[in-house]
Amino acid sequence: MTAAPYLPEFEAFAANGGASPAWLAPLRKQAFGRFAEVGFPTSKDEEWRFTSVTPIAGRQFSAPPAASVTAAELEPFIFGHPEWPRLVFVNGRYDAGLSHLPGLAAGVRCGPLAEALSTDPSLEAHLARHAPVEQSAFTALNTAFLREGAFVHVPAGVQLDDPINVLFVSTREASDSVTHPRNLFLVDREARASMVESYVTLAPGATYFTNAVTEVVSGPGAWTEHTRIQRESESAFHVGLTHVEQDRDSHYRSFTLAMGGALARHNLHVRLNAPNVETLMYGLYLTRGEQLVDNHTAIYHDHPDCRSWEVYKGVMQDKSRAVFNGKVFVEPEAQRTDAKQTNRNLLLSRGARVDTKPQLEIFADDVKCTHGATVGQLDEVAMFYARSRGIPAQAARRLLTHAFAAEVVAEVALEPVREELERLVHERLNLLSE
C-alpha cells in the first residue's frame, strides 16, 4: 500500500503551497517523506489489526472541486444557537458567507488557518509540533497537505461564554475526493473555552475520504471543553486524530459522537504534561448496516497528582462492527495517579460485533487505576419490568437503549450543547430501534 498515488498531487501542492510561511514547507516535505516511507497501515500493524484500511488505500482520491451551499441547506447542521461563533468549510474550503464571527473578547483569534498562516507568527510554536507524524501514516499525510482548517486562540484569562462551532461540510461534488482538515485550538493560562467540531454531509450516499487532525493546547489552569461530532455519509471514509497537550492545573473535557462513515476511525491522544491535571473523556458510537467505527484512545500520565476518567459506549445493530482500544500509560514519576477507564457495548442484533481492548501500563506504585469492558444485549430483567408496567416491547427497547446512551451524553457540561446532542442521539436511536 504505497504512497505513489499521492505523489503527483503533493508535488503540485508543494509547488504553490498557498501563502505559507517558510518554516512550513520543510515540515510538509518531511511529513510526505514519512508517509512515502511507511505507506498505509496493514493488519500486521498492531494498531490496525481490527480495522483494514484497504477500502481507502485501494481507491484513488483527488482534490475536491469547489461547491456552493445555501444557508437553508446548512441550517440542520448548525449546532446550538445560530448566533454562536461559527467557521464553515465546504469541501475543505473556508466559506466566509456561511461563517459567523461576531465580536469576540479582546485578543481572541478565530478564523481560517490558511489566513492565520500568513498573519500570525505564533503558529510556528504549535502547528504540527504536537501531533507526531511518526506515529501515524494518516497524520503524516494530513501534515503533508496542511493548509486549511480552523484556528482558535483564546488568550490568558479570557472566558468565552459561547462555544465556537467548527463545521466541515461535504457535498455531492466531493465524491471520490479527499480533504485534509487541520485545526489548532490554543487555550492559554486561566482561559476558558468550548469548541464544537463537526463533520457532516449533504450527500448521504456519497463516497469520499476525510483525513482530519486537530491539535489542542490547554495552558496552565485553563478549562477546555471539546465536542467532536462525526456524521459523515455512510458510504464515506473518515480518519481523524485529536492530540491534546495539557499544562499544570488544567482541565480538558472531551465528548465524541460517531454515527457516520462506512469506515470511521478516531484517535484521541491526551498528554498530561504537568502535575495536578484533570482529563475527562466521554464517547458514544452508534452503528448500523455494515458500518465500522473504530475508537482508539491514549492517555499519557507523565507527572504526579493527575486524574483521568474515560467512559465510552457503543450501540450496534444489523451487521455493523465497532472497535475500541483504550490505553492508559502511567510513568514512574506519575505517583498518586487516579485513572479510570470503562467501555460498554450494547448489541441490538445477532450480526453486530465489537472488538474491545482496554489497557493499562503502570510503572508507578502509588496509584489508583482501574479499567473494564462489557459487551451484551438489552437486560432481560429490565425488559420484563418495563413490559409488566404495560410498556410495549418496541417502546421498552427504545427506552432502555436511550437510557444506556444517556449516561455519557449527560456529561457534556454546557447545557445548550448537551440538549442538542440529546436531540441528535434520540433521533438516531429511534431509527436504530425500528
Whole-angstrom distance, CA of residue 185 vs CA of residue 211: 18
pTM score, two decimals? 0.93
Contact 170, 203 (CB under 8 A): yes
In a domain, 49, yes or no: yes
In a domain, 283, yes or no: no
Q: Give the number of other Cβ atoms within 10 Å of residue 411's Cβ.
A: 16
Domain count of the chain? 2
Whole-angstrom distance, CA of residue 409 vs CA of residue 429: 13
From first to last of its 434 residues, the chain has per-residue pLDDT tens of 556 678 778 877 777 665 578 899 899 999 999 999 999 999 889 899 999 999 999 898 998 999 999 999 999 898 878 889 999 999 999 999 999 998 888 899 999 999 999 888 889 999 999 999 998 999 999 999 999 999 999 999 999 989 999 999 999 999 999 999 999 999 999 999 999 999 999 999 999 999 999 999 999 999 999 999 999 999 999 999 999 999 999 999 999 999 999 999 999 999 999 999 999 999 999 999 999 999 999 999 999 999 999 999 999 999 999 999 999 999 999 999 999 999 999 999 999 999 999 999 999 999 999 999 999 887 666 666 566 776 776 777 777 888 899 999 999 988 888 898 898 898 888 866 55
Q: Are residues 205 and 92 in the same domain?
A: yes
In a domain, 305, yes or no: no
What does each C-alpha distance from 434 to 182, 319, 375, 393 come to in angstroms?
37, 15, 21, 12
Give the structural domain span for 401: 379-434
In a domain, 329, yes or no: no
In a domain, 295, yes or no: no
Last residue of a domain, one of 230, 255, 274: 274
Q: Are residues 101 and 228 in the same domain?
A: yes
